[in-house]
Structure 1
Amino acid sequence: MGKVLLWVEHDGAAIKDATLSAVTAAGQLGDVVALVAGEGVDGVAQAAAQIAGVAAVLKADDAAYAHALAENVAPLVAGLMADHDAFVAPATTTGKNVAPRVAALLDVAQVSDILSVEGPKTFTRPIYAGNAIATVESSDAKLVVTVRATAFAKAEASGGSASVDAVSGAGDAGLSSFVGAEIAKSERPELTSAKIIVSGGRALKDAETFVATITPLADKLGAAIGASRAAVDAGYVPNDYQVGQTGKIVAPQVYVAVGISGAIQHLAGMKDSKTIIAINKDEDAPIFQVADVGLVADLFTAVPELVGKL
């Protein structure tokens, strides 16, 4: 068992759920040392120290790491890897931005999107949009691994009592700068951690119809809202709603697919959901092959009727 450096994803105040799943995966490889990088992150470091399974916390507090710019964070991680055997990050947008740069700096092959840890350097990961599972073994001296959060149980956020030590890196690499962020504010649960998701597809015609049809159902169910790539590309909803191979990978208790045909790329992002409910007027739509409950009906009649009955 070696030492595993874990990238803690946070928003400056709270730790993201995907990190807790990554802790579980990292714990199967060795002692977990959590790295909290950012500006003014004392609170986050203390929260990371409370996570069950975390042996130690390293805090890199520097303005250069404030927005998790991969160009600045990767050299910090690569420097710390002299004392660690593996680097583990959740396979989120940020994790997938940082980890490959770390792998390149270390000159190793990254193992991406793992589903399980089979041995000290052996993992399973999805290929062909999740239609096959590959078992891969790394022959590199140092491991760089990203973790599919939906495949691992979340570590308990409390119960740990790790020490917190300050570390420093090279700071600003001068390669990129943070310009701004347009963050969609929502009272709804975050898509990747929601227990119920209602997703809409191309059949919803336009942005107004999407909102008018999907929102009442999501409100009744207390659900997050998702969308197929076709709906996002057509401009019905913002990019961060997208579920699928090129969007977010989700595995809620209940996934409701409304007017989604079920292209292989969409199925790759949601087929691990516990219960899948599909509403589509095309009885031959591929979505029905993975659905636990299927309703062949016009969604513009069925959804309002369903909302009325809830």
Structure 2
Amino acid sequence: MAIKVIKEKCVGCGACVTVCPADAINMIDKKAVITDKCIACGACIDKCPVEAIYKESTKNGGVNIDDYRGVWVFAEQREGKTLNVVRELLGEGRKIADELETELSAVLLGHNMEEEADLLIKYGADKVIYVDDELLDVYTTDGYSKVIFDLIEERKPEILLIGATNIGRDLGPRLSAKVHTGLTADCTRLDVDKENRRLMMTRPAFGGNLMATILCPKHRPQMSTVRPGVMEKAKLHEDHEGVVEVVKPNLKAEDIKAKVVEVVKSDKPVVALEEAPIIVSGGRGLGNEEGFKLIEELAEKLGGVVGASRATVDTNWIDHSHQVGQTGKTVRPGLYVACGISGAIQHLAGMQDSKCIVAINKDANAPIFEVADYGIVGDLYEVIPELIQALDNVDDIMEAVKSLSEN
């Protein structure tokens, strides 16, 4: 749907300009004119005193979906390097594109990123649409949404996948409003209805208590933000061939209302759960927040990071950035150690794809044991110190063996 102005009715009072949150209305010759910045929120319609503004429905409630072809992946970058989630999206995008027998394209916005563009081809993209401009070096909502909107209007992709990162969660809704299509946020699974060329987007709903599969049958592109760590990463193929198309955008400095003056990095350590090869997680069985000191000690000994269940986050024992599960982060490490975690379905959904799962719980009937490769029934305050001591002994043995081999 689009916002329209009936010029014959417009009296040029400017009331709509004052309420527009997107600064999308200009007064030209004493008449309101809607620009492409419009997000179709409808605030101007409610404010207009003469009912000169209305929301126009697209014919048949949608678009001609036959005009739209191709799968696009937004290749998010920070400081000139694409994020790991981009490889995950390319891996999933490749499967979807093959199912639909169409082209997979990566959309890369930035400046002086030719090497990254070539790398995206090796990770499976048939084409990289590389938009090169100094104004795109650092992410801005206005700049990125305008450039990608222009590309969508011109090239008409049928699917657009975006990582559910901080930037993706900002960019996705803005784009979907501009294009007048739907957006399924924070997806954990994607499937394809090949016959109808529909993307089936599954995400947690009602606080993670059920999974909802959502369709966008009448509008294009079908848009989804995908939770990092859920999809399997695309493999690097040095011999994969594709095309890097360099595009110069129709973008001016005045199109960007909010300027990034400086990027200040937080002193707080980042918990990179999605990328960690080893995770040691604590649950309600710890009894109190002091129990996480023991979890941290084991994680440090194993060379891993600390995870947590929702219950411990809700009781403020640990920061939300450590949470694993449907309402936290989805992980697939090589080793996942669950300590005092019962194994609620919401938590299992976030870690059950780990290569090796070790569960420690004094309840022999805890659901966590059903997915665990190895289970230890016992008090974690007795088991974990024993594990740490055993790891210390292994270190001593390895040092002794190394010393003997040198002599």
TM-score, structure 2 length as denominator?
0.64
In the other structure, the counterpart of 2:234 is: 155
CA shift at 1:203, angstroms?
A: 4.2
Determine which of 46, 52, 62 is the counterpart of 2:134: 62
Supply the AA of the counterpart residue of 1:200: G
1:141 pairs with 2:212: no
Distance of 2:71 and 2:267 partners within structure 1: 32
Q: Conserved in 1, the CA contact under 8 Å of 2:200 and 2:215? A: yes
Identity across matched positions, percent: 31
Determine which of 264, 279, 295 is the counterpart of 1:214: 295
Distance of 1:246 and 1:169 partners within structure 2: 39
Q: Conserved in 1, the CA contact under 8 Å of 2:75 and 2:106? A: yes
TM-score, structure 1 length as denominator?
0.81
Distance of 1:44 and 1:284 partners within structure 2: 49
Q: Conserved in 1, the CA contact under 8 Å of 2:117 and 2:244? A: no
Provide the secondary structure at the position in 1 that maps to 2:86: helix
Determine which of 131, 135, 152 is the counterpart of 1:81: 152
Distance of 1:234 and 1:43 partners within structure 2: 46
Question: Structure 1 pair 72/48, CA: closer, same or farther in 2 (3 Å)?
Answer: same
CA shift at 1:303, angstroms?
A: 1.0
Determine which of 332, 340, 348 is the counterpart of 1:267: 348
Supply the AA of the counterpart residue of 1:121: R
In the other structure, the counterpart of 1:250 is: 331
CA shift at 1:305, angstroms?
A: 0.9
Q: Conserved in 1, the CA contact under 8 Å of 2:184 and 2:201? A: no
1:44 pairs with 2:111: no
Q: Per-residue displacement from partner, 1:63-89 (whole Å, max 9, x unpaired)?
A: 4551x3445422322221121313221
Q: RCO (CA 8 Å, sep 6+): is it higher in 1 or 2?
A: 1
Determine which of 359, 362, 365 is the counterpart of 1:278: 359
Distance of 1:168 and 1:283 partners within structure 2: 61
Question: Structure 1 pair 307/69, CA: closer, same or farther in 2 (3 Å)?
Answer: farther
- The 5-angstrom pairing of residues 289-304 of structure 1 reads 289-304=370-385
Supply the AA of the counterpart residue of 1:182: S
In the other structure, the counterpart of 2:199 is: 122
Q: Conserved in 2, the CA contact under 8 Å of 1:118 and 1:124? A: no
Provide the secondary structure at the position in 2 that maps to 1:244: coil
Q: Conserved in 2, the CA contact under 8 Å of 1:249 and 1:269? A: yes
Supply the AA of the counterpart residue of 1:26: G
Question: Structure 1 pair 108/232, CA: closer, same or farther in 2 (3 Å)?
Answer: same
In the other structure, the counterpart of 2:321 is: 240
- The 5-angstrom pairing of residues 161-180 of structure 1 reads 161=241, 162-168=243-249, 170=251, 173-174=256-257, 180=264
Question: Structure 1 pair 118/250, CA: closer, same or farther in 2 (3 Å)?
Answer: farther
In the other structure, the counterpart of 2:279 is: 197
Q: Per-residue displacement from partner, 1:156-209 (whole Å, max 9, x unpaired)?
A: 3352453241332546532585774426446x8x32133332112344466664
Aligned length: 306
Distance of 1:62 and 1:183 partners within structure 2: 28
Question: Structure 1 pair 117/180, CA: closer, same or farther in 2 (3 Å)?
Answer: farther
Q: Conserved in 1, the CA contact under 8 Å of 2:91 and 2:231? A: yes
1:2 pairs with 2:73: no
Supply the AA of the counterpart residue of 2:275: S
Deviates more, 1:72-81 or 1:171-180: 171-180
Deviates more, 1:37-46 or 1:101-110: 37-46
1:14 pairs with 2:81: yes
Distance of 2:164 and 2:224 partners within structure 1: 9
Distance of 2:355 and 2:212 partners within structure 1: 19
Provide the secondary structure at the position in 1 that maps to 2:76: coil
Q: CA RMSD in A?
A: 3.3
Q: Conserved in 1, the CA contact under 8 Å of 2:230 and 2:330? A: no
Provide the secondary structure at the position in 1 that maps to 2:82: coil
Question: Structure 1 pair 6/254, CA: closer, same or farther in 2 (3 Å)?
Answer: same
1:90 pairs with 2:163: yes
Q: Conserved in 1, the CA contact under 8 Å of 2:342 and 2:367? A: yes
In the other structure, the counterpart of 1:110 is: 183
Bigger radius of gyration, 1 or 2?
2
CA shift at 1:235, angstroms?
A: 4.7
**Structure 2 gaps, min length 5:** 1-67, 392-407
CA shift at 1:302, angstroms?
A: 0.9
Provide the secondary structure at the position in 2 that maps to 1:115: strand
Question: Structure 1 pair 63/305, CA: closer, same or farther in 2 (3 Å)?
Answer: farther
Provide the secondary structure at the position in 2 that maps to 1:165: strand
Supply the AA of the counterpart residue of 1:94: I
Provide the secondary structure at the position in 1 that maps to 2:376: strand
